Every structure is written in structure tokens, then in C-alpha cells.
Amino acid sequence: MPALDYPNDMDDKLTTIRQETLQDVLGTLQTPPSAVRRSTDVPAITEDPATTPIIQPASSNTAEDSDDNGTTFERTVVGVQRELAKEVRVRMQNMAASLEGMRMCMMTFAEQSAAMQVQQSLLQGLQQCVRDFTTAVRELPQHLAC
């Protein structure tokens, strides 16, 4: 029955969606830190020191802020990437659960459809038996008269 192929089709679609999403996420997360533009890459703007306000770093640890290698920035990017990966994982799990629920509903529907077809054929067979019995009962007096 074609209705029973739906769960397999849904599994294939779910697998494809998972693979595409995972590839997108991994591609985003594997972007090397060197590909991310750092604030030190921005050309300097010449301003008048007398009118330019001095901005203090928000962090109390100035050793981290003054790191020339950009490791603080890279740690921040890695932290953000991890949080995004967690969020993506949770959303993928929720989507997988939703798709699994839909697959189960479709399987139930397919099973019910098959059961209804069996019931329909049984009902038709029963109706034919009743017709045959009715015909036999009508013809019984003729056979008894012989």
C-alpha cells in the first residue's frame, strides 16, 4: 500500500534535514578566528586628542584587555559559538521530536487506513453473504415443493 511508505519517506526527509542543518552549523562554527575581523584591523581615525573623550575598558582585568594576540576576543567568539551550538542542538532536538510525532501520526493514520480497507472488504463480503442467504430463503419453498 502506498500509505505505508510515508513513514520511510519521513525518515529520509528527517535525515536529510538533520544532515543539512548539521553541515550549516559546523560550517559556521569552524570559521577560523583569523577570518573574523578584529578591532585592530580597523584603520586608525585621526582625531584631536583634546576633544576626544578617553574611554576606559569595561573589564577590571586590563591584562586581558591589552592582550595583543587577540586571545580574549577569540575566547569570546568560542564562547558565543558554544552557546549557539547548544541552542542549535536544542532546536534540532525539538524539531526532531516534532517530526517524530508527525511520523507516528502518519503511521497511525496509515494503519487506520489499512484497517478501514479491511473492514470495508469484510463488510462487502458480509453484505454479499446476506444477499445470497436471502435469495436462498426465497427459493427454498420452490425446492421443497419438488
Pairs from 74-81 (Cβ < 8 Å, separation ≥ 24): 74/33, 77/33, 77/36, 78/33, 81/28, 81/29
The residue ranking higher by pLDDT, 119 or 76, is 119
Identify which of 99, 78, 74 has the alpha carbon closest to the alpha carbon of residue 21: 99
User: Structure pTM?
Assistant: 0.35
Q: Residues 25-41: what's their mean pLDDT?
A: 57
Alpha carbons 107 and 7: distance in angstroms, whole number: 6
Per-residue pLDDT at 76: 83
Comparing CA positions, the residue from 82, 73, 64, 66 lying closest to residue 28 is 82
CA 35 vs CA 17, 38, 138, 145: distances in Å: 28, 9, 92, 104
What does the pLDDT read at residue 53?
54
